[in-house]
Amino acid sequence: MYRPMPLAGPLLLAPALVLTACSPTADDGDTDGSGSASIIDNCGYEVVVGEPPQRVVSLNQGTTEILLSLGLEDRIVGTATWTDPIMEGLEEANEGIPRLAENNPSFERVLEAEPDFVTASFVSTLGTGGVATREQFGELGVGTYVSPSDCSAGKDNDSGGDGSRSEPLTLDVVYGEIRDLALVFGVEERGEELVAELRGRVEAATEDLDASEVSLMYWFANSEAPYLAGCCGAPGAITREVGARNAFDDTHDEWPQINWETVADRDPDVIVLGDLTRESQTAETAAAKIGFLEDGAATRDLTAVREERYILLSGQAMNPSIRTVEGVEKVAAGLRELGFAR
């Protein structure tokens, strides 16, 4: 059981922090001697960039993997809320980083790590109803950053469920997050190198790919009322990059729950399955999803099920994250293997 932490202690006795998130902007002076500070507009909050943070807590797997990809493992003092194993190539960097919780940690648990900066992939994690609000961290002098893919770029988190999008997400938003965090942590060159690498991977995966006649359905989780991808989130970005179409591109909800009878009416050519390792919904793993599809009265006659046309993705690849590039690669490769793309 957690007890409220006293507000006096090492965190509040530390020197004044130089990275803040606030709204409206405070006049915090300059960082380059020119009389104007470098400021990042982050989802209605202005993050003033000063000395790079030294103790960051990343509240979601997505932002953790960006920080690790930027070589910042020595500054991560805690992480939380994971759906998958660590991204390939980051295993060694991830060793020893404290997992504060498998899902949302308490505010008190985060403060115990004495962070000077907190990142998150979702407003539902760093916001009202989540671990804490950005204002709560700001009152303690702790800077914050939320992935723009979840709180800008046409995303409406007040529309119910997982929110909706008025405009399609693009990979440029993910690249922008990488550049923001690279700036905050003073590793801009690493950020540009990482963005260039990711762009190159997308170009290589989709070169000469023609999948314009193929319909895809993305199933994240839940067998009773499945969460299927709408038009405009990370699966939509993947679909556009490979040149296919989403069977449910007529809904702007991020992850609408759609009944299996409607799925049968759409009868997608290929089903992209989230292969998750968490245990918060039914049918989390790809194996569980395939078992359900092949046994279910409403699903076993789907063309994709009868022909075993499945492509497996990590949960992180189906969320807006650095892993969405991995999603492009795997969907492109899967379509080629299934004979659906030239």
- Interhelix angle 234-242/188-206, nearest 10 degrees: 50
Q: Which amino acid is it at 328?
A: V
| E-strand stretches of 137-294 | 143-146, 155-156, 164-165, 215-221, 227-228, 245-246, 270-274
35-43: long-range pairs with CB below 8 Å, 24+ = 38/183, 40/145, 40/180, 40/183, 40/184, 42/145, 42/146, 42/148, 42/180, 43/123, 43/146, 43/148, 43/151, 43/152
Report pLDDT for 225.
Answer: 94
Task: Assign a CATH topology to domain 209-337.
Answer: Rossmann fold (3.40.50)
State in words which class domain 10-146 has.
Answer: alpha beta
Low-confidence ranges of the chain (pLDDT < 70): 1-37, 342
Look up the pTM and report it. 0.88
Task: Establish whether domains 10-146 and 209-337 are of one fold.
Answer: yes
Say what the pLDDT of residue 27 is: 36
Please check whether residue 228 is in contact with residue 287, taking contact to mean a CB–CB distance below 8 angstroms: no
Q: Can you give the pLDDT at residue 280?
A: 85
Question: Which residue type occupies 250?
Answer: D
Residue 257: what pLDDT?
A: 97
What is the pLDDT at residue 155? Answer: 94
Alpha-carbon torsion angle 246, 249, 255, 259, nearest 10: -90
Domain boundary assignment for the chain: 10-146, 209-337
